[in-house]
Structure 1
Amino acid sequence: MTASHSLPSAHDGRRRAQLVELVDGIDPWDELERSHLGIAAKWLSGSAPVYRMRKPDVPDRHLVSYFVVLDEEREKLLLVAHRKAGLWLPTGGHVEPGEDPWAAVERECREELGVSAVASEFAGERPVFLTVTRTKGQGEHTDVSLWYVISAHADSITSYDEEEFTAIRWLTPEQVLDEPLSSLDPHMHRFTRKLLHVRS
């Protein structure tokens, strides 16, 4: 094998090792997250593709960066009404090939909300939660999602990507937990409970 062929492989190996380290740094909230962390670590340690190459489902499993916007002063979380999913979700998007997941947060935050991503003080530029979710509807696939928390005052969010979202809402954690799970990301209640625990 020539050096020109070995360099991409070595780079891919380093990137996978960094992703495994990122996943290993997440403390599981419950047995489901413990299971999801194990699935993600095994997947990232293997040779299967990690990044989405073609919308919406190639490859069938790919990496996503969610970022939950938290107004720490008002103790409220931002949720968006996602057009395609038909659910209230955190903001976020697919990680591009070779892209660092935090860089994906920064990019998607600018694209979706028009503001710069500011890492929360308690979590920094590291994910606090991980989920493995099978999507529904056309183009079903599996999202391996790293959940980050960023800080922003609600007043600073003055616009959003109307092509992707129909509305936005700021809710307290208690209000999120009062929402029917059928209207939210299926793991939103679990994330909210973990967030309350981590910040207590």
Structure 2
Amino acid sequence: MRNDFVATGVVFNRQKDKVLLVYHNKLKKWLPPGGHLEPNELPHEGALREVWEETGVKASLILSGEQFEIEEEVESQLPAPYLILHEYIPSTPTEEAHMHVDFIYLMEVEEEAQLDIHPREVKEARWMTLDEVQRCDTFDSVIKICQRLMK
């Protein structure tokens, strides 16, 4: 089965009591913004780009894992994702079933701004409390991440 590389940005407000979710047109679920990586794009770059494209929100990475001082001409450390998931994507009339290798990054909104959705990909975007996340139609992984990290 085919593996596609994708990146997701789990964006919190500054108080960490709300998370930004979008209603995904294809999957019919509330999810953090994300999507396929473009050629030569690094996973953290793709996650930041997808957040901006789908919601109009400028966000910055919340670094996960140990950070080393490795900045050389021939190598440098990339920001580590919070989580990497292998996700089954069911077939549609236009695409066969496949897998996503999803690099999930935690982010914080840089500035509170009005949401500006990309209607071809998402129907709606909304800041949600933990209670709202637990009641919306989403995947268990989204609920578990939010339960662990939100106030």
TM-score by length of 1: 0.59
**Aligned match of 1:148:** 105
Deviations 1:144-166 (A, max 9, x none): 11111111168414311111111
**Structure 1: segments with no counterpart, 5+ residues:** 1-58
1:116 deviation in Å? 3.0
Aligned pairs for 1:110-121 within 5 A: 110-120=52-62
Superposition CA RMSD, Å: 2.4
Residue 81 of structure 1 pairs with residue 23 of structure 2: yes
- Aligned CA distance change for structure 1 residues 157 and 137 (closer, same or farther; 3 Å): farther
Higher fraction of strand: 2
Query: Residue 9 of structure 2 contacts residue 48 of structure 2 at CA under 8 Å; is this kept in 1?
Result: no
What CA distance in whole angstroms lies between the structure 2 residues aligned with 1:153 and 1:173? 20
**Structure 2: segments with no counterpart, 5+ residues:** 66-78
| Matched letter for residue 13 of structure 2 | D
Higher relative contact order (CA 8 A, sep 6+): 2
| Matched letter for residue 120 of structure 2 | E
Residue 165 of structure 1 pairs with residue 107 of structure 2: no
Runs ≥4 in structure 1, deviation > 6 angstroms? none
Higher fraction of helix: 1
* SS of corresponding position for 2:131: helix
TM-score by length of 2: 0.76
Aligned residues: 135
Aligned pairs for 1:118-137 within 5 A: 118-120=60-62, 123=64, 125-137=79-91
State the structure with more CA Rg. 1
1:173 deviation in Å? 2.2
Aligned pairs for 1:11-160 within 5 A: 60-73=2-15, 75-120=17-62, 123=64, 125-138=79-92, 139=95, 140-152=97-109, 155-160=112-117
Identity of aligned residues (%): 27
Query: Residue 78 of structure 1 contacts residue 171 of structure 1 at CA under 8 Å; is this kept in 2?
Result: yes
